[in-house]
């Protein structure tokens, strides 16, 4: 699962609208709801920034240690150790915890009526729906790249190029 920058406004709008509509949170006004959406967007953008930072550190780690790209997962685990940051399925838990924290501190939230577990469950459904679209993109990219050896420099460059191309077509980035 992957969070796409192009989906951030859609995700934040859907999260806030569903929580307000269901009476889980109360905002002061329509402007307050718009501002709360921007707060949620800020949380999601910060997640992407940290993830990019960790990916860059993992690539540097691979290069410094002369490891193949196939060890990228191990490198990511190594550089993210000690940081409270979720990836994959843990990403959703991390993001929901950050958004709940945002609600607690936001001047735009008048009252929170639901417990953390309820908020978490509702946000998790929205995030999972939008983040799983990335799996379709990755499947499509891998299907197009059957003739290139995975893990090679050529594969890495072509994978990135195709993923960006397909993501733009689908409006994900």
Average pLDDT (145-164) is: 81
Interval 80-136: pLDDT, tens: 877 878 777 788 999 999 999 999 999 999 999 999 999 999 999 999 988 877 677
The two tokens of residue 77 are 């685990």
Interval 2-29: pLDDT, tens: 888 888 999 999 999 999 999 999 998 8
Which residues have C-beta within 8 Å of that of residue 109, sequence separation ≥ 6?
25, 26, 27, 32, 36, 103
Helices (H), the chain: 8-21, 30-65, 72-80, 89-105, 116-131, 133-144, 153-169
Tally of residues, the chain: 173
User: Where does the pLDDT of residue 140 fall: very low under 50, low under 70, confident under 90, or very high at 90 and above?
Assistant: confident
Q: pLDDT at position 114, please?
A: 93
User: What percent of the chain has pLDDT above 70?
Assistant: 97
Going from N- to C-terminal start, the domains of the chain cover: 5-129, 132-173
């Amino acid at each position: 699962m992957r969070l796409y920058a192009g989906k951030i406004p859609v995700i934040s709008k859907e999260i806030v609208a569903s929580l307000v509509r269901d009476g889980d949170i109360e905002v002061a006004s329509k402007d307050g709801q718009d501002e709360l959406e921007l707060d949620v967007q800020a949380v999601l953008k910060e997640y992407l920034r940290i993830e990019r930072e960790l990916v860059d550190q993992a690539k540097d780690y691979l290069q410094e240690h002369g490891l193949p790209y196939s060890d990228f997962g191990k490198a990511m685990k190594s550089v993210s150790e000690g940081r409270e940051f979720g990836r994959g399925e843990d990403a959703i838990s991390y993001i929901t915890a950050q958004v709940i924290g945002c609600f607690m501190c936001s001047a735009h939230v008048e009252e929170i009526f639901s417990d953390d577990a309820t908020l978490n469950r509702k946000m998790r459904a929205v995030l999972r729906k939008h983040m799983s679209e990335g799996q379709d993109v990755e499947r499509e990219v891998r299907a197009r790249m059957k003739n290139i050896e995975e893990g090679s420099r050529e594969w890495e460059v072509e994978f990135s190029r195709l993923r960006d191309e397909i993501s733009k077509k689908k409006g994900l980035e």
